[in-house]
Each structure stands twice: as C-alpha cells, then as structure tokens.
Structure 1
Amino acid sequence: MRSALRPPHVTQAAFDAALDAFRIAIGDAAVITSTDGLAVYLDPFAPGDARQYSASAALMPASVDEIRAVLVTANRYRIPLWTVSTGRNFAYGGASPRIAGSVVLDLKRMNRVLEVDETLAYAVVEPGVSYFDLYQYLLARHSSLWLDPPASGWGSVVGNTLERGFGATPYGDHAAMQCGMEVVLANGDIVRTGMGAMRNSNSWQVFKAGFGPSYDDMFMQSNFGIVTKLGIWLMPRPAGYRLCHFKFRHDSDLAVIIDTLRPLRLDDTIQSQAVVEHAIRWAAGVSTRRQWYDGAGAMPDAAIDAMASALGIGRWNLRFGLYGPEELVAARFRVIERAFARIPDARLDADGYMNASSMPKGGGDGSQVGIPSMAAFQLLNWRGGNGAHVDLSPICPPTGRDALAQYQRVRARAAEYGFDYYGGFTVGPRHMHHIFAAIFDKDDATQTQAARALIEALIEQLGAAGYGQYRTHLAFMDLAASQYDFNDHALMRLSERIKGALDPQGILSPGKQGIGGARFKD
C-alpha cells in the first residue's frame, strides 16, 4: 500500500508528477513509495513517535548522473530531499528526515571503493561504502593500511566523516583525516574541492587546501550539497602495538585522570584517541543491569562499586593504544606508567607488545587496530526490553575541572529522570567528546518520554554553562543550534545566507543542524 504522506506545501498532483519523473530518471525499482518499503527509514531509536519523521518516498540513485536528474525534478516541484549515505546513524535519527514528508535520497547503491593508494595511504570511496566494506577491500588485497572504524562498523565512511565521527586509533579524528570531496550542488553543478578543482590533478587526496578558499568543512554537518566521493587518509600499518587499560577505583578520580592524560596527548606520547569510560558504560558491554541492580531509579554508588569489583574494573577506566617499533612503544609506555602511578589505587592492565598482524586478545579491542565490529550495540541489552538509546554529545575542554563539571551535571540530571550515567570521554589533545547515552525500553512510553525530556533538559543546562553539542538527534537539532547564540545567532544567519545562495528552493535536507527549515516551520 502506498504511503499517504506527501511533502509539505506540495500538492498531490505535483507529487505524483514528481514521482513519475523520478521513475524515468532512476528506474521504477529505485523509487520506494509503499508503507512497508518506507518502514526501514523510520528511526528505530526514536525518543517518541518515530512517525514524526516519516518519509513520503525514498529514492536510490546509483550514479552522479542519476542524482543530477533527481535534482532537476526536485527543483521543479520543490520536493525536499533528505540525503543519507546508508542511514545507520542510530541514536541520532537513523535514515529519517528532519522534516516529515521529505523524500529520502538514499545513496547506498553508490558503494564503490574507487581507489586505494598504498604509497600515499589514502582511499577514495562513494557514500554507500561501509567500514566493513572498506575493511574487507583492504583485507582482500593484503593492504599495508589500516582504517579507523567508529563504534559501529556498518556505518558509511562518508556519512560518519561528514558527521565528524571518531574512532580509536591515531587516525581517530575522521574529519581531520578527510582530504578532497566531490559534491553535487542543488542546481546539479559538480564541484571537486581542494586540488581536485584541477581537471588533471595528481594531488587531490594529499593536500586539502588547494588554491584560494577551502570548502571541505562547509559540507560537513550541513545541507549545502550532496557529497558523492570522499578521500580519507588511512593509517600505515605499524610495526606493532600495545593496548593499555588503566582502572581507577574512585569516582572522584576523574579530574586527575584528565589532567594527567592531557599533556600525554598534547605531546603525542599517547598517539591514539584515549577513551575514559565510566563503570556502567564498560559493564553494559559485557552484562545487563539486572545482574547488579534491579531497583527503581539510577543505580546507587554501592551497587556500582560492587559491580565494578565483581567485573574487575574501575569506577573510571582508561584505554588507549601505542603503535610503532617495540623500543619506541616501550619508551612511551614507561613515561605513561610513571605519570599515572601518582593516582592512588590506579591499576594497569596492558597486553604485551604484539606485531601488527596479531589480533588483540579481546574482540572489543579490535577497533584500536583497525578492525570494525558491532560490539557497541551490546548496550541495548542494559535496561532490558526493546532496547534503544538517544545520545548527548557535548564538547568539553580536556581539563579535570571541565570534565568533572560536565559529569556531575549529567549524572545528577540523569538520576532525576531515572537513568543511569552511561557515559565517558574520548580525549584528543585539545578537546574531548563527552558522550552520554540515555538507554531506554522503547516499548515503555514512560521511559521513552523521559529519555527525550532528559536530553532536552541537558542540552539547555549545558548550553547555559557554555558547553555546546557537536551532534544531536533530529529531535534536538533546533535546540542544539539555538545554543550557538553569539551576536544574536550570527553563525546561523551566515549559514542561512549560504543556504539561500546555494539552494534557493531549499530542497536539500531542510532542517539539518537547524539550517534551512524556515519554509517548513508550520
């Protein structure tokens, strides 16, 4: 049965004509209008009614030419298109459009690895290439390169990079490792950024800037164009590695952990992204909540301490990797060990030095050596029932004072709404991603509503304290954008001016990051 939904401000006759034109452009099978077919574009983790973000149709072009043909029709009939690479961005909205009734432009059929350069250590991929796909591609060719996977390996390399995702190796800042894009603008024009602007360029994936202004970042977390090709730098396989885990007994250790860690990241003694995880986040990967506590409300400290003791973990747990020749890894390790020895009751667990072809002892550590997995989804079992989660993602300076302030605010407010603190910090040299997940049973309306209300309250509370979100679920995009309020929201005014210039019909992903949604406010 065909969906009864249609794009806002578009008549039924115009929508029918547009669908006919889309079928001519990309083929009948690539135009989805049935209720059953569109169900896969509903957000599986929606903090509320997933139908609030329903699509009216979905299109699956297989080439740049087909995208351009779709854009001709979308502009003619003013059809809003919500672009996804594979739609696996769960906890942030999945494949659902921000504006109900938009047509999803699903790029998963554009799934080619176009190039891997072993000498210069980069790949060029299309949007439908997942981390699993690229990993298998490298493996099949006995490549000397590692990729850097995010928490869930089924996601798109392009999509995760454009959302500024991150992983666990020294190449863990995915946006920083991007070099060179091909972008289709709303008018169908094809642009290549940086050195790719030269027709015969031989340096597209090795130098970002090119000549003149650099535009790559403009297409990240934006709706200014459709990225169809992307260069990503890959990590040359090191001689070997050592994976390290520190366990800290006291909840109050967080500040000194971060202050000890920061100089080690700044001077590159610790090369990789360093992850500081709360005991509950660690435990949710290997157990369920009712094994440790089955009461109402957030887990009390006594239950958390008993759980940590039984699992042999700390209240806070630090993990990172060291990479390179054995003598260099050993020297780095000694410096790190001395630094953390100053924290009372800190315990170190570290694998021995392993050559680069060796698998880690624990499967969950695979991401630290370039092996994607789906281990992160174990957290869905924490609360029981039909597990889901929605995430809070504030940026935090890497100081103990800031980390403690964010942690205490988030944990206290989560407890007010009946949620455990499932969270931690991914620490770079000059900033940290603080990720908190409100885990809920989506069949429980009370839990679902509480999860949404909690995230809304935290975005506002942290925003008032000067902490902005780097990414949010669809439901909170406008709220998160509103926190960036310097000079009466001058940044949003700039974004809207760029949007109006590049996409005057407002057809590309309206409402993304709060941009270009004014036409649909009603």
Structure 2
Amino acid sequence: MSDQEFVALPEGVSAENFAKAVEAFKAVLGADNVLTTEERLTPYFKTMMPVDDSEYRMSAVVQATKVEQVQEVVKICNEYNVPVWTISTGRNFGYGTAAPSKRGTVVLDLKHMNKIIEVDRDLGTALLEPGVTYQQLFDYLQENDLPFYLSCPAPSAIAGPVGNTMDRGVGYTPYGEHFMMQCGMEVVLANGEVLRTGMGGVEGSTAWQVFKWGYGPYLDGIFTQSNFGICTKMGIWLMPKPPVFKPFSVIYDNEEDIAEIVDLFRPLRLNNIIPNSVVYASTIYEAAGIISRTKYFTGEGHTPHEVVQEIREKEGLGAWNVYAALYGTKEQVEVNWNIVKSVVEGHGKGRIVTEEEAGGTQPFQYRADLMRGHMTMQEFGLYRWRDDRGAGGGSMWFAPVTVNKGSETLDQTKLATEILNKYGFDYAGEYIVGMRDLHHIIDVLFDKSDEEETKRAYECFDELLTEFGKRGYAVYRVNNAFMDKVAGIYGQVQRDVNQTLKRALDPKGILAPGKSGIDI
C-alpha cells in the first residue's frame, strides 16, 4: 500500500511499515474489523473541539471483540512503533469524542466488547466489558427484574459505565461518584500482559467485585485518565432500588443567591439528609433543554441579561434551579422531607416544587429521571440552544473543581460569565455537589462551521483555563486540545511522576500518547 492509500500516518512510521502493521491487525481481527479507508473512518472524524478536525485524524480504527485480541493489538503496536488510542463508546462529546490526541494514531474501538458478564442480585455488583452502554445495562436490569438503580451521566443512553468511570465522570444518584463505586479492573498492559487489580489476582477469589483494595499498593486509580493500560473489564456497584424516591426542585430568582444556596444545602448533603448529588443549574443551562434561544433572541453575541430574565419569567425557570432527591423507606423520606422543607422555608427565598406539582413537565422530569438512573438524551438540547441547527456542532466542557462553599461559587460564576460574554458566548453552567466538593460544569457552545467564531471559542477556553488557574481552580477533565495545558496547571512534580510511571509501564510510548499530558 502506498502513502496515498492511508488517511494519515503515525508520526515517524513509514507507509511501508504501517501497511505491515495493518496486515497484522487483519490477521488477528479479520479484515472487516480493520478500517483504513476515508469512507469507513469518516464516522470517527468529527470532533466538537475548536480545531481543524484533520489535525486529529486517526490512521486506522481496529475493532476487538475479546481481551486476547487486545493483547495481540498492543504487541503489534510495539513491534511497529504504532501508537494506539482506546475508546469504549466514544461518546464523550464535549471532551473530544473518538479523536486521538495525536494525528495518525490508531484508534482501538472496544464497542464490540459489550458483554454484561455478571450481575449479582444479592450484592448489587456488576462485571462489565467496556462496550456496554448504560442503556444496555438498564435494559438488562429491567428484563431480569433486578432491583437496582443505575448512576449515569446526563447523556446516559449512548455512553458507557466503563468509559465514564475511567474518565472519573459523575452521576446524580447517591452512587454518583462513579470511580468510588468501581471495584476491580482487568487491564491489558503495554507489553500485552493482563493485570487484574484488587482481589482479581487471587486464583479462585469470589471477592473481586466487593473488596476494592486487595493487597499492597492500590493500583486502579493510576489507570484512570491515564495511558498506562487498557481496561477490558470493570466491576461496579449498583444502588439497591429504594422503596420511596422523592425528587424535588427549589427555584431561586436572584443570581446573587447562589452563595446562600450552596451554604444552605451543604449541611443537608454532609449529613446525608440529601444523599445524592445536588445540582444548582443556571437559567440558560435549564432553558437549553426545552427551547432554542431563537425563540427570544436572534442577535449576535451572548444573550443579553434582559432576554435571560424574560426567559425565566415566561418559561418558569429560576436564576438558579436546585435539584435533589430523597431515597429510602416511607418513614425515612418523611422525616428527611420535613427537615428539607424546614430549612428551605426558613431561609425564605426559594420555591419548592415536588414531582406531583411539576406534573411531568420539563425540565423537572428530565432531572427526576437522572436522579433515578433512567435513560435520557435531553441534555443534547444544549446543542440546539444557539440555533435549531445544533449550534454548528461546537461544544467544550469547562469543568473546574472547587470547595462546597458559597463564596467560591459567586466568584467563579462571575468570572466565567465575564470571560464567556467577552468572546460572545453564553454562560450555560451548573454546579454538581460531590459532598465537600463542587464540579462547576460549563458548556462552551459555539458554531464550528464559522471559522472566526471557532477561533474565538479556542481563545475563550484558553483564557478560562488560564484565569481560573491563576486563582487556584483547575478542571478535572478536558478535551484533547487542552490536555497538555491542564497538566501544566497541576504542576511539574505530578507531570514528572506520571512520566516515570509511563516509562516503566509503556517504554515505547504506544498507549494513547499525550493523554492527560502524559508522554515518555
């Protein structure tokens, strides 16, 4: 095969050697599972980052169906010095989709490794392959009458538990800290060996999915958000379905109330009165799920404040919209509900809305579904916010982490809004409460079909990272285009340690080079 027959080539790899690697892949996986033509690769090309997608084109996509094939793939990559970027479902839209961090990298797609290996009805554990989607697992639980809730991210149906957990994503039930609810991994290392973490290395053990730690150093964490290995199986814990589920919202009309709101709800979360991830969603974040802004505004630049106020009044939204839920027996929920009502009513600013009062209206129903682990795609309404075409296909999640204190949220909201508005973009943000931390989730929406606006979006995101970093705020995830910059914010010592681990586990640097700013 000649150079022209490949869409891209890995850096430093000749067309001749890459052709040999491709033939080796075909021998292991079958020709149908090795994609090299532009026609077959096109579904993998699109990104939502403010970059030229051609800069992130892969040289090939290889699709494995079992762990032994993954082992052979990495051996071939080592032999021919071919880098490989692994995806499970490739649906992390605001974080880079399926694109590798470097042009010419081979993408290893694990979507066909989609077995639900085991669900233990008594213990509430599941052992999954990386291609399993939340929808697939949800359907499995329903079909087998298994009494568990899932905790899933907002675009739940098409995403997968393994990929989301490996990137340390979050959900909205009491099990919303997904990596905390993970137990045991099977990992293919760069040399082709298979590591089973925790109790998985003990022959005949039945405790792989119940005891996280095993013996010696705890290793699972180093494989998340890294390029040290390829996860091919993962254990997760499932939340027992409670007898009573009571979702509610509290609507606040004043933007400045965010500081008081956070401080008001913090003791309820810390004391487990509210056991799930409380969400504080801004007007635009909630409006995007139900309308396009063209209903109220068709001008250029960011949405004027008076228009945002009009949207609140006519769509029944607050400046801040709080969502939470209670879980447990009838008696438990009744006691905790009285506590919540007393706190909110005593504060005197928020209007409580229950599921009965909401009557299936949006966005309440969408939020309630998330908090009970039901499947939903409504968050993709964000991509229709700017116009009905889907905002030109541009989206980046900016997700700084801070402490669960009101003063922090007031400063962060103002800073983010100022920077976004400066570049002509809207503040579409929400805060998700872990317990003592807050994830400040902001979707930077732009028209990728507009070259000038795409340039502005890049500069805006870069400034967000820089200015928040100066104040001690850093994101916990980021898209491929900014991974190196974010790694720099976390300091040189951490980068050096990561590089040491990388060189020890992957001396040729074949696994996802550049992931999280880590390279040899």
TM-score range, shorter chain: over 0.9
Deviations 1:170-222 (A, max 9, x none): 01111111000000100011111011110111111111001111101111100
**DSSP-derived class of the 1:111 partner:** coil
> d(CA) in 2 for partners of 1:452 and 1:189?
40
* Identity among equivalent pairs (%): 39
Residue 457 of structure 1: which of 459, 463, 478 is its match? 463
Deviations 1:98-136 (A, max 9, x none): 011000011111000000001000111000001011011
Determine if contact 2:181/2:237 at 8 Å carries over to the other structure.
yes
Distance apart, 1:295 and its partner CA: 2.6
> d(CA) in 1 for partners of 2:281 and 2:186?
37
> d(CA) in 2 for partners of 1:341 and 1:381?
36
Q: For residue 14 of structure 2, what is the amino acid of its counterpart?
A: T
**Equivalent position of 2:258 in the other structure:** 254
Distance apart, 1:64 and its partner CA: 0.8
Distance apart, 1:372 and its partner CA: 1.6
Q: Please tell me whether residue 208 in structure 1 is matched to residue 212 in structure 2.
A: yes
Q: For residue 84 of structure 2, what is the amino acid of its counterpart?
A: L
**DSSP-derived class of the 1:39 partner:** helix
- Cα gap change, 1:361 to 1:285, in 2 (>3 Å): closer
TM-score (norm 2): 0.96
Question: How many residues are aligned here?
Answer: 509
**Equivalent position of 1:156 in the other structure:** 160
Determine if contact 1:249/1:315 at 8 Å carries over to the other structure.
yes
Distance apart, 1:146 and its partner CA: 1.3
**Equivalent position of 1:356 in the other structure:** none
* Unaligned runs of at least 5 residues, structure 1: 354-359
Residue 436 of structure 1: which of 419, 432, 442 is its match? 442
**Equivalent position of 2:106 in the other structure:** 103
Q: Please tell me whether residue 322 in structure 1 is matched to residue 292 in structure 2.
A: no
> d(CA) in 2 for partners of 1:48 and 1:299?
24
**Equivalent position of 1:175 in the other structure:** 179
**Equivalent position of 2:199 in the other structure:** 195
> d(CA) in 2 for partners of 1:344 and 1:335?
15
Aligned positions of 1:334-349 closer than 5 A: 334-349=338-353
Q: Which moved more, 1:104-113 or 1:302-311?
A: 302-311
Aligned positions of 1:14-53 closer than 5 A: 14-53=17-56
Q: Please tell me whether residue 290 in structure 1 is matched to residue 269 in structure 2.
A: no
Distance apart, 1:301 and its partner CA: 2.2
Distance apart, 1:44 and its partner CA: 3.3
**Equivalent position of 2:476 in the other structure:** 470
**Equivalent position of 1:514 in the other structure:** 517
**Equivalent position of 1:9 in the other structure:** 12
Q: Please tell me whether residue 74 in structure 1 is matched to residue 77 in structure 2.
A: yes
**DSSP-derived class of the 1:243 partner:** strand
Distance apart, 1:47 and its partner CA: 1.2
Distance apart, 1:311 and its partner CA: 1.1
Deviations 1:351-370 (A, max 9, x none): 259xxxxxx98255212111
**Equivalent position of 2:402 in the other structure:** 396
**Equivalent position of 1:331 in the other structure:** 335
> d(CA) in 1 for partners of 2:194 and 2:510?
17
Distance apart, 1:344 and its partner CA: 4.1
Determine if contact 1:380/1:439 at 8 Å carries over to the other structure.
yes
* Unaligned runs of at least 5 residues, structure 2: 358-362
> d(CA) in 1 for partners of 2:151 and 2:121?
16
Q: For residue 406 of structure 1, what is the amino acid of its counterpart?
A: Q
**Equivalent position of 2:360 in the other structure:** none
Residue 499 of structure 2: which of 488, 496, 500 is its match? 496
> d(CA) in 1 for partners of 2:378 and 2:316?
20
> d(CA) in 1 for partners of 2:102 and 2:140?
36
**DSSP-derived class of the 1:207 partner:** coil
Distance apart, 1:285 and its partner CA: 0.5
Q: Which moved more, 1:382-391 or 1:114-123?
A: 382-391
Distance apart, 1:394 and its partner CA: 0.6
Q: For residue 42 of structure 2, what is the amino acid of its counterpart?
A: A
Distance apart, 1:341 and its partner CA: 2.2
**Equivalent position of 1:357 in the other structure:** none
Cα root mean square deviation, aligned? 1.6
Distance apart, 1:446 and its partner CA: 2.2
Distance apart, 1:281 and its partner CA: 0.4
Residue 307 of structure 1: which of 308, 311, 318 is its match? 311
**Equivalent position of 2:385 in the other structure:** 382
Deviations 1:398-450 (A, max 9, x none): 10111111111100100000011000100121101101111112212222222
